[in-house]
């Protein structure tokens, strides 16, 4: 096989599978609409089942539903008839995947599902099959041919089923009004979770770790405080009411020494940046990142509505928290 031959074969597979999805688009009708309504109205969990390759696709569909606001799990049909069917309640709904619509492990469950009154949505490639006829709603995921040259390995058929499952999940997501923050709640360990759930208060330095100096402090005392706390800045406060008056940063230090003052006698209040950029402790940490990026600064003081200092953070804190 030459490199050119491999590429031709790969392109042929992608073309066949893309044609299967294109054909699927032409068959999206009121059955899909009713299936979405049924999923949205489900008061229990959505149980997805399928055997073999359809089972792998079903597992992914269940995971997508669960992460987008529709409680769902996968049930292996072979295990279902040996006790796992007890996981299903009368408030649940079943999605069954079978290209042939005659998978024995699934058709074996149909009488009991009917007895329990559990709604059934089927994804089949044979609209006249046993599963399709037993389902409350059958979604036609039939294909013209598999991408496998022998027509044996499930390829186009599993792609079509996966695409239909994604279409259901995302349509219902939209109908639920599912938001980015909702998504983050089910993905707390991912980058999106960190960006949307982590707040400034979770990562800021507080208490004695905040670099603070009174407005009358000398530059030398301010530099000692900055060195001790290691955030590259110090908040300058009114000693009477503790409100933030300004900030003194590494950048201010460089500008100060252009004027060559006596650091033991010069007051920090004469060299600080007044009316500095601040942030509230309840804001999302990613907002702090945007502020730093937009204002081209590396640190922020955290204040409350009365301008009293609550904390401090810098870019390194955001990096450590995985927000960047």
Q: Which residue has the tokens 């089910």?
A: 186
* pTM of the shown model: 0.67
- Bridge partners, residue 205, by sequence: 312
Check whether 187 has a pLDDT greater than 60: no
Q: Where in the sequence of the chain do the CATH 3.40.50.10490 domains occur?
A: 3-178
Q: Where in the sequence of the chain do the CATH 3.10.580.10 domains occur?
A: 200-320
Check whether 32 has a pLDDT greater than 60: yes
Q: What is the pLDDT of residues 146-161, one digit of tens each?
A: 988 877 788 999 999 9
Check whether 310 has a pLDDT greater than 70: yes
Cα-based distances in Å from 40 to 78, 87, 104: 27, 20, 29
Q: What is the pLDDT of residues 68-83, one digit of tens each?
A: 889 999 999 999 888 7
pLDDT score recorded for residue 295: 92
**CATH number of 200-320, picked from 3.30.200.20, 3.40.190.10, 3.10.580.10, 3.40.50.2000:** 3.10.580.10
CB of 167 within 8 A of CB of 140? no
- Bridge partners, residue 278, by sequence: 301
CA distance 291 to 298: 9
Contact partners, residue 33, CB within 8 Å, separation at least 6: none
Q: What is the pLDDT of residues 94-126, one digit of tens each?
A: 999 999 999 999 999 999 999 989 999 999 999
Q: What is the pLDDT of residues 242-254, one digit of tens each?
A: 899 999 999 898 8
Q: Which of 13-17, 136-140, 217-221, 319-323 has the lowest mean pLDDT?
A: 319-323
CB of 218 within 8 A of CB of 265? yes
191 pLDDT tier (thresholds 50, 70, 90): low
What average pLDDT does the chain have?
90
pLDDT score recorded for residue 176: 84
**CATH number of 3-178, picked from 3.40.50.300, 3.30.750.24, 3.40.50.10490, 3.30.70.20:** 3.40.50.10490
Check whether 86 has a pLDDT greater than 70: yes
pLDDT score recorded for residue 148: 85
pLDDT score recorded for residue 42: 94
Check whether 190 has a pLDDT greater than 80: no
Check whether 233 has a pLDDT greater than 80: yes
Q: What is the pLDDT of residues 257-287, one digit of tens each?
A: 888 888 888 999 999 999 899 999 999 888 9
pLDDT score recorded for residue 84: 84
Where would I find the H helices in 118-155?
Answer: 130-134
């Amino acid at each position: 096989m030459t490199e050119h031959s491999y590429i031709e074969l790969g392109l042929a597979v992608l073309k066949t599978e893309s044609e299967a999805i294109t054909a699927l688009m032409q068959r999206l009708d009121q059955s899909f609409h009713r299936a979405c309504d049924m999923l949205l109205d489900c008061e229990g969990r959505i149980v997805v089942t399928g055997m073999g390759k359809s089972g792998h696709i079903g597992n992914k569909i269940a995971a997508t539903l669960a992460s987008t606001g529709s409680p769902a799990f996968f049930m292996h049909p072979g295990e279902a008839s040996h006790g796992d069917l007890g996981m299903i309640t009368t408030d649940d709904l079943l999605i069954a995947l079978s290209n042939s619509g005659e998978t024995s492990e699934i058709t074996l469950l149909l009488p009991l599902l009917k007895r329990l009154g559990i709604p059934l949505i089927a994804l089949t490639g044979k609209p006249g099959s046993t599963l399709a006829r037993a389902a409350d709603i059958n979604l036609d995921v039939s294909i013209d041919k598999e991408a496998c040259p022998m027509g044996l390995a499930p390829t186009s058929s599993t792609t079509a089923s996966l695409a239909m499952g994604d279409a259901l999940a995302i349509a219902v997501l939209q109908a639920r009004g599912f938001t980015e923050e909702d998504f983050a709640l089910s993905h707390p360990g991912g980058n999106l979770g960190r960006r949307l759930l982590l707040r400034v208060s979770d990562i800021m330095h507080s208490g004695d770790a905040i670099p603070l100096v009174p407005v009358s402090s000398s530059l030398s005392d301010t530099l000692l405080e900055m060195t001790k706390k290691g955030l590259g800045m110090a908040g300058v406060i009114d000693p009477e009411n503790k409100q933030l008056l300004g900030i003194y940063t590494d950048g201010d230090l460089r500008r100060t020494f252009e004027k060559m003052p006596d650091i033991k006698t010069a007051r920090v209040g004469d060299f600080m940046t007044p009316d500095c950029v601040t942030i509230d402790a309840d804001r999302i940490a990613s907002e702090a990142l945007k502020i730093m990026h937009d204002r081209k600064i590396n640190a922020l003081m955290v204040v409350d509505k009365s301008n009293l200092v609550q904390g401090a953070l810098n870019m390194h804190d955001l990096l450590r928290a995985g927000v960047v």
